[in-house]
């Protein structure tokens, strides 16, 4: 009997546990199951997983709130309950009241944010208006005082919210946040990638205290989750001893350069800094999938469809060339829409209304990966638990080149975890870096028709577009 069938048969006989989801390679490490149980722990690939004894035991209502449980409600069902009468609905971007492109006009939110500063502004505005007492989001922490560079924290002032600005492509988890929310009465907002917001909403269904206290959810659009090894890879490539790295920026902002030219930046213990553009790194192509969590291969929510408001980058011209950063924003909750509309009227926000096509265009690659790509993966690499996705297995009719892109991306994700673990154990960075350059060369040939191999692929392919 195949291992997927075996694990599902066991699941039918016994309650699903966090360990089952982790062993099936479907745990995104959100930490929802750890609330009241224990924190998540690092696995050997630098991902957070429910690992201690509690993870093998039945956790009350786990099959209802784990975002990768086969029995959990999907994004459509959650959105239908949370936003019962949306002004508009679009299969790609979800239910919404309004959608915008732009940035924060007041204060330093835009300069301090990864994109247009809208996430920090909305969090701060909810606090200023007294609608919440705290916001759970991700802040940098001193790696010498623990084993990580970032963690979730509940910030309770506008200044504290500012300390968390910018995107952290690093594993973080919510168990301590839910514990604090349960322990300390108040109203809270939670910032998170779509699956974390899905977990939060599912938890609200089964936990009356969380339901009462989590007042708002702020979603981040999401390409995929990276492991902590990406930071170590940066350090190897920037000749920075890992034990000297004190702070990490994934996207150092530079108003004079295009927003989509990401720069990795490390600050060392002696105060010096090392940095390099992602495009010059062996694994610096986001779309190639280096260090991606396997659960992301089975995700179909790009734009935080269950969040009250969701934010991304405007990855279309002229915005992608504007290094100051520009958001796209989807407002789903009527209450949040009133706040945003008021601030636009007061010129505190510079936001122009856009339609669903505009938003979908800014995330075209992410949508392809989570629609056509997901359909294809569900067929050639079905998940080890019978997940109920909104996309059916398929993809037979996709052009060969696209199939090869999806297969290569998946191989790069799994290969990067394993090769890096081996290179790390052997203290032999070149093993991983040489492999990564080769893998990226192959991916570049398939996705962008780069180099001699790319030219050959272009000649043989029925699809000569330069797209990933
Ligand atoms: C893993 C990941 C993948 C992403 N993929 C895409 C994508 O494919 N397309 C796209 O358009 N946008 C993506 N984003 C969102 C994008 O990077 C910006 O976060 C978003 O545009 C908001 O920018 P801002 O200037 O408004 O936010 P800022 O004002 O900079 O505030 C960002 C807020 O998000 C919080 N935060 C940062 N990292 C995390 C995290 N890992 N988990 C939870 N909260 C966090 C911070 O604490 C802060 O409160 C991704 C973000 C993450 C974390
Ligand atoms: S996805 Fe979240 S809730 Fe599910 S097992 Fe992993 S950490 Fe727990
Ligand atoms: S791609 Fe999906 S599963 Fe992966 S981190 Fe993003 S929202 Fe979660």
Q: Is the model's pLDDT at 373 over the cut of 70?
A: yes
Q: Is 16 in the pocket of ligand 2 (CB under 6 A)?
A: no
Q: Is the model's pLDDT at 8 over the cut of 80?
A: no
The protein residue whose alpha carbon is closest to atom 21 in ligand 1 is: 312
Angle between helices 334-345 and 118-128 (to 10 degrees): 100
The protein residue whose alpha carbon is closest to atom 4 in ligand 3 is: 296
Residue-level pLDDT at 1: 38
Dig out the tokens for 247 from the structure. 């702070």
463: confidence class by pLDDT, cuts 50, 70, 90: low
Looking from the CA of 129 toward its CB, the CA atoms found within 13 Å total 16
Q: Find the mean pLDDT for residues 27-39.
A: 96
For residues 307 and 96, the answer to whether their CB atoms sit within 8 Å is: no
* Cα dist from 188 to 36, 73, 306, 334, 382, whole Å: 18, 23, 16, 18, 37
* Closest ligand to Cα 16: 2
Q: What is the pLDDT of residues 108-119, one digit of tens each?
A: 999 999 999 999
The protein residue whose alpha carbon is closest to atom 3 in ligand 3 is: 296
The protein residue whose alpha carbon is closest to atom 8 in ligand 2 is: 33
- How far is the centre of ligand 2, averaged over its atoms, from the C-alpha of 232 (Å)? 25
Dig out the tokens for 335 from the structure. 């209450």
CB atoms within 10 A of CB 182: 14
Contact residues for 109 (Cβ-Cβ < 8 A; gap 6+): 116, 117, 118, 120, 121, 124, 165
Q: Which residues line ligand 3 (CB under 6 A)?
A: 28, 193-195, 222, 224-225, 293, 295-296, 299, 301
Q: d(Cα 155, Cα 136) in Å, to the nearest integer? A: 6
Looking from the CA of 88 toward its CB, the CA atoms found within 13 Å total 14
Q: What is the pLDDT of residues 205-244, one digit of tens each?
A: 999 999 999 999 999 999 999 999 999 999 999 999 999 9
Note the pTM of the prediction, 2 decimals.
0.96
Residue-level pLDDT at 199: 98
Q: Find the mean pLDDT for residues 284-310.
A: 97
Q: Which residue of 17, 26, 27, 383 sits with most ligand 2 atoms within 8 Å of its CB, as the best mutation to test the pocket?
A: 27
465: confidence class by pLDDT, cuts 50, 70, 90: low
Residue-level pLDDT at 461: 79
* Closest ligand to Cα 56: 2
23: confidence class by pLDDT, cuts 50, 70, 90: very high
Q: Is 100 in the pocket of ligand 1 (CB under 6 A)?
A: no
Q: What is the mean pLDDT of the chain?
A: 95
Q: Is 276 in the pocket of ligand 1 (CB under 6 A)?
A: no
Q: Is 29 in the pocket of ligand 2 (CB under 6 A)?
A: yes
Q: Find the mean pLDDT for residues 48-74.
A: 96
Higher pLDDT, 140 or 4: 140
Ligand 2 atom with minimal separation from the 62 CA: 3
* Closest ligand to Cα 305: 3
Dig out the tokens for 393 from the structure. 């297995």
Q: Which residue of 112, 121, 161, 167 sits with most ligand 1 atoms within 8 Å of its CB, as the best mutation to test the pocket?
A: 167
Q: Is 67 in the pocket of ligand 2 (CB under 6 A)?
A: yes
Q: Is the model's pLDDT at 5 over the cut of 50?
A: no
Q: What is the pLDDT of residues 377-407, one digit of tens each?
A: 999 999 999 998 999 999 999 999 999 999 9
Q: Is 225 left (phi over 0), alpha (psi -120 to 50) or beta?
A: beta
Q: Is the model's pLDDT at 457 over the cut of 60?
A: yes
* Closest ligand to Cα 27: 2
Q: Find the mean pLDDT for residues 328-340.
A: 98
């Amino acid at each position: 009997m195949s291992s997927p069938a075996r694990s599902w048969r066991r699941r039918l006989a016994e309650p699903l546990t966090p360990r089952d989801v982790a062993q099936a390679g479907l745990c995104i490490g959100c930490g929802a199951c750890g609330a009241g149980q224990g924190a998540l722990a690092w696995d050997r690939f630098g991902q957070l997983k429910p690992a201690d004894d509690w993870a093998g035991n039945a956790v009350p209502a786990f099959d209802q709130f784990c975002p990768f449980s086969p029995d959990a409600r999907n994004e459509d069902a959650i959105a239908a309950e949370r936003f019962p009468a949306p002004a508009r609905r679009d299969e790609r971007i979800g239910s919404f009241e309004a959608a915008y492109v732009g940035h924060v006009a007041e204060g330093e939110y835009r300069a301090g944010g990864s994109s247009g500063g809208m996430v920090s502004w909305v969090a701060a505005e909810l606090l200023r208006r007294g609608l919440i007492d705290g916001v759970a989001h991700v802040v940098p922490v001193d790696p010498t005082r623990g084993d990580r560079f970032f963690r979730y924290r509940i910030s309770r002032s506008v200044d504290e919210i500012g300390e968390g600005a910018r995107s952290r492509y690093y594993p973080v988890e919510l168990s301590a946040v839910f514990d604090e929310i349960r322990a300390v009465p108040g109203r809270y907002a939670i910032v998170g990638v779509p699956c974390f917001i899905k977990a939060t909403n599912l938890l609200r269904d089964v936990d009356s205290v969380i339901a009462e206290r989590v007042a708002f959810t702020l979603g981040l659009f999401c390409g995929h989750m990276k492991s902590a090894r990406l930071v170590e890879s940066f350090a190897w490539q920037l000749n920075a001893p890992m034990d000297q790295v004190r702070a990490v920026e994934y996207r150092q902002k530079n108003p004079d350069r295009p927003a989509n030219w990401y720069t990795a930046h490390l600050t060392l213990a002696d105060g010096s800094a090392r940095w390099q553009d992602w495009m010059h790194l062996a694994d610096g192509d986001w779309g190639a999938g280096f260090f991606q969590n396997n659960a992301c291969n089975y995700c179909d929510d790009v734009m935080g469809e269950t969040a009250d408001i969701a934010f991304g980058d405007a990855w279309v011209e002229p915005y992608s060339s504007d290094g100051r950063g520009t958001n796209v924003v989807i407002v789903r909750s009527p209450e949040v829409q009133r706040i945003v509309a008021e601030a636009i009227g007061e010129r505190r926000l510079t936001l122009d209304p856009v339609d669903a096509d505009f938003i979908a265009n800014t995330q075209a690659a992410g949508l392809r990966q989570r629609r056509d790509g997901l359909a294809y993966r569900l067929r050639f690499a079905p998940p080890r638990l019978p997940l109920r996705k909104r996309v059916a297995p398929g993809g037979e009719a996709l052009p060969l080149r696209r199939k090869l892109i999806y297969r290569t991306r998946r191989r790069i994700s799994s290969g990067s975890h394993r090769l890096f673990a081996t290179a790390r154990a052997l203290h032999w960075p070149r093993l991983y870096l040489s492999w990564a350059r080769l893998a990226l060369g192959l991916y570049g040939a398939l996705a962008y028709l780069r180099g001699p191999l790319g030219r050959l692929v272009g000649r043989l392919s029925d699809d000569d577009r330069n797209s990933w």
